[in-house]
Amino acid sequence: MSDEEQLVIMQLIMDGGNAKSSSFEAIQAAKKGAFDQAQAKLKEADSFLAKAHNAQTDLLTTEAQGQHTQVSLLMVHGQDHVMNAITFRDLAGELVSVYQRLDNNSAK
């Protein structure tokens, strides 16, 4: 595995982890009724996921150009981080919506 491939994989791990953390922070903010902050954290998570997606696209482009990327445990771990972060981000968006709906209903 080349140094460049290792850097891309580490970016997947970091961006996936950061996206998950931001998503969790969004849930915590919504739980406290800080919905603007929750939305900002969801946008932040989306930004990290976009970076991870770009890193994945780089790997796919290299593969499509005929330069095979060795699939290692580290690569699988990086992809797992990204997929987990995507799922967590989707769930966080739903939970923020539920908290906001509950807050709106209790205000009536």
Q: Are 50 and 80 in contact (CB under 8 A)?
A: no
Is 80 annotated in some ligand binding site? yes
- In 3-state terms, what secondary structure has residue 105? helix
Measured CA to CA, the distance from residue 95 to residue 81 in angstroms comes to 21
Place of tokens 């009536």: 108
Residue 77 bears catalytic tag: yes
Query: Residue 12 has which token pair?
Result: 């997947």
**DSSP calls for 11-48:** HHHHHHHHHHHHHHHHHHHHHTT-HHHHHHHHHHHHHH
Q: Which residues are catalytic?
A: 77
Q: Can you say which residues are annotated as belonging to the binding site for Mg(2+)?
A: 80
Annotated binding site: 80
